[in-house]
Amino acid sequence: MVNDNNPSTFEGRFYNKKALKLKILDLIRNKGMITKQEIAKELGINITTVSELINQFYNKYNVIKETGNGNSSGGRKPKLYSINNELGYIIGIDVGGTNTRGILTDLAGNIIRYIKIKTKASEGKEAVLAKIFSLTSDLISLSDIPKEKFFGIGMSISGIINSFEGISIFCPNIPGWENLPIKKIMEEKFKIPVCIDDSVRCAAVAEKRFGIAKDHDNFIFISIGKGIGMGAFIDGKIYRGSMGLAGELGHITVSEDGPLCNCGNKGCLEAIASGPGILRRAREGIENGIVTSISKEINKNFENLSVEIISKAANEGDKFAYYLINRTGEYIGIAIAAALNLFGCDLVVLWGGILECGDIILDAIKRTVKMRALEFISKRVRIEKTAIGDNIAALGAAQTFIDKLYSDSDYNILVKSQK
Ligand SMILES: [Zn+2]
C-alpha cells in the first residue's frame, strides 16, 4: 500500500503526493472538465506525473470519468476528464425553527430528492431528533442507491454551533438543544460520517459554490431573520475561527443600553433588528400610544403582530411602520459597515425573511453602509440579495460535506471505491 502522507520529492513544490492528488481533483471539479495537458499546464507539473495520477483516479478509484475529447493542437484529440459525480451521494439537512428540509445530492451538489417537514420545535429535543432520523431514513430508503454509496451527511442548524466538535452549543429555536453532540448522535444512528455547521455558514458555502459569490474568494454572507448571523469567506475558504463558530454578527453590540438579548448581553444587533426585535419595538411603540395603522390591523391583539403586517403598513405609507423598518435597516447597515471595515471585501450577500420588507430595508442598509464604511470600501462594495431559494442551507450543508471530501480530512472516503 502506498503511504500518501510521506513527504517526497514528488513534484517538489507540493509537500506530498496526497496534496498533489487533492489539487488535481479540486481542479477537475472546479473546471468541470479538463484534459491531462491542461492540468499539467495549470499546476505547472509534468505530464507524466499527471498521467500517472489520472490513470489511478480513473482505473483504480473510479473517481473521474472520460467526457469526450478536448481541442487538439495537432494530432489526436486529448481526452477530457470530469468528476464521476454518481460515485457517491450526500444528504443535506437544514434544521430550522419552523421547517426542516432534507435533500439528497450527488457529488456535484445536484439535488436528486427533496423533503420538507415541520420541525415542531416545541415538542422538544427528542421529538425533533426523531423527526430528523425519519427524514434521513426516508431520503436513504426512498432512493434505489446502494447503502455504501451514501458518503455522508451534512447538517445545518440555526444557532451557536461548534462545527469542529459537531456540537450544538445553543439553539434558540429548539428547546433542549444546548450542548447537544448532534454529530455523534447522527453518526451512531446512521453509521456514516456527519458534519454540522451553523445555517448561515452553510448558506454561505452554497452561495460560494452556486450563487452570486461564485467568482469571489472574499465576501460576507449575512442572514437576517429570526436571528442574525454571518458567514465570511476569506481567500476562498469559509472562516470558522479557532473555536469553529466565527461570524456571530448578531451578537455585536449596536446600542450600549439596548434591549436584553437571548445571549445575555444588552443591545445586540439581533435583539433589535431580527424579526422578534422588530416586533418588540413595534409593540413598545403602540403601547406608548403611537398612532399607526398597525393597531387596527392587529385588532389590539399583539399575537396577530407580524413583520409582514408592519412591512405592508410601511409600504402603504404608515409613518411608524416606515420608521421601524428603516431603522432596522440602519442598525443592520452599521453592523455590515463594521464587518466590511474588518474584512475589506467587495461583496455582501443578504439572505432571510426580513428582506421581504422590500426596498425600504435594502435602501436603508445600502445608505448606512455608504455613510459608515470606509469610503474606499463603500465605493466598491456590492450589496445583493441571494438568488438561491429556500434550499440554500440544506444545499450548503451537503456542499460543506462535499468540500471535506476534497480535503485532507475525508479524501479517503472519495477514493475508497474500487472498480
Ligand atoms: Zn446577543
Same domain (yes/no): 35, 107: no
Question: If you measure from the C-alpha of residue 47 to the centroid of ligand 1, how many angstroms do you get, rounded to a whole number?
Answer: 55
pLDDT tens, residue by residue, 34-78: 999 999 999 988 899 999 999 999 988 999 999 988 887 777 889
Is 30 a member of any domain? yes
Is residue 313 within 8 A of residue 184, CB to CB? The reply is no
Burial class (CB in 10 A: 0-12, 13-18, 19+), 161: buried
Question: If you measure from the C-alpha of residue 277 to the centroid of ligand 1, how many angstroms do you get, rounded to a whole number?
Answer: 11
Question: If you measure from the C-alpha of residue 330 to the centroid of ligand 1, how many angstroms do you get, rounded to a whole number?
Answer: 18
Question: If you measure from the C-alpha of residue 259 to the centroid of ligand 1, how many angstroms do you get, rounded to a whole number?
Answer: 10
Is 8 a member of any domain? no
Provide the grid cell at 339. 464587518
278: closest CA among 248, 322, 231, 247? 322
d(CA 366, CA 120): 36
Question: If you measure from the C-alpha of residue 248 to the centroid of ligand 1, how many angstroms do you get, rounded to a whole number?
Answer: 9
Same domain (yes/no): 164, 300: no
Question: If you measure from the C-alpha of residue 172 to the centroid of ligand 1, how many angstroms do you get, rounded to a whole number?
Answer: 11
Q: Identify residues whose C-beta is under 5 A from ligand 1, the ion.
A: 251, 261, 263, 265, 268
Question: If you measure from the C-alpha of residue 272 to the centroid of ligand 1, how many angstroms do you get, rounded to a whole number?
Answer: 10
pLDDT of residue 6: 47
Same domain (yes/no): 49, 143: no
Residue 210: left if φ>0, alpha if ψ -120 to 50, beta else—which one? alpha
d(CA 181, CA 70): 48
Question: If you measure from the C-alpha of residue 224 to the centroid of ligand 1, how many angstroms do you get, rounded to a whole number?
Answer: 14
Is 419 a member of any domain? no
Provide the grid cell at 39. 492540468
Is residue 218 within 8 A of residue 345, CB to CB? The reply is yes
Of 35, 62, 83, which marks where a domain is finished?
83
Is 253 a member of any domain? yes
User: At 183, which CATH number?
Assistant: 3.30.420.40
pLDDT of residue 10: 53
Same domain (yes/no): 277, 357: yes
Is 9 a member of any domain? no
Is 10 a member of any domain? no
Same domain (yes/no): 325, 228: yes
Of 61, 83, 105, which marks where a domain is finished?
83
What percent helix, strand, coil does the chain show, rounded to 5? 45, 20, 35
Is residue 39 within 8 A of residue 27, CB to CB? The reply is yes
Is 1 a member of any domain? no
Question: If you measure from the C-alpha of residue 227 to the centroid of ligand 1, how many angstroms do you get, rounded to a whole number?
Answer: 10
Same domain (yes/no): 301, 373: yes
Question: If you measure from the C-alpha of residue 199 to the centroid of ligand 1, how many angstroms do you get, rounded to a whole number?
Answer: 17
d(CA 312, CA 108): 40
pLDDT of residue 97: 84
Question: If you measure from the C-alpha of residue 251 to the centroid of ligand 1, how many angstroms do you get, rounded to a whole number?
Answer: 4
Same domain (yes/no): 234, 364: yes
Same domain (yes/no): 346, 248: yes
Same domain (yes/no): 261, 381: yes
Q: How many helices and strands, by DSSP H and E, does the chain display?
A: 15, 15
User: How many domains is the chain partitioned into structurally?
Assistant: 3
pLDDT of residue 160: 85
Same domain (yes/no): 319, 277: yes
User: At 51, which CATH number?
Assistant: 1.10.10.10
Amino acid found at 350: L
Is residue 362 within 8 A of residue 185, CB to CB? The reply is no
**144: Cβ contacts below 8 Å, ≥ 6 apart:** none
8: closest CA among 17, 18, 50? 17
Same domain (yes/no): 139, 244: no
Question: If you measure from the C-alpha of residue 263 to the centroid of ligand 1, how many angstroms do you get, rounded to a whole number?
Answer: 4
Range of the domain at 59: 17-83
CA 156 to chain centre: 8
Question: If you measure from the C-alpha of residue 34 to the centroid of ligand 1, how many angstroms do you get, rounded to a whole number?
Answer: 48
Q: What is the pLDDT along the chain (419 residues), one digit of tens a residue?
A: 444 544 444 555 555 788 899 999 999 999 999 999 999 999 988 899 999 999 999 988 999 999 988 887 777 889 999 999 999 999 999 998 889 999 999 999 999 999 999 999 889 899 999 999 999 999 999 888 999 999 999 999 988 889 999 999 988 888 889 999 999 999 999 999 999 999 999 999 999 999 999 999 999 999 999 899 999 999 999 999 998 888 999 999 999 999 999 889 999 999 999 999 999 999 999 999 999 999 999 988 999 999 999 999 999 999 999 999 999 999 999 999 999 999 999 999 999 988 988 899 999 999 999 999 999 999 999 999 999 999 999 999 999 999 999 998 888 888 885 54
Same domain (yes/no): 221, 142: no
Question: If you measure from the C-alpha of residue 123 to the centroid of ligand 1, how many angstroms do you get, rounded to a whole number?
Answer: 25
Is 3 a member of any domain? no
pLDDT of residue 12: 53
pLDDT of residue 137: 96
Of 83, 102, 125, which marks where a domain is finished?
83
Question: If you measure from the C-alpha of residue 299 to the centroid of ligand 1, how many angstroms do you get, rounded to a whole number?
Answer: 31
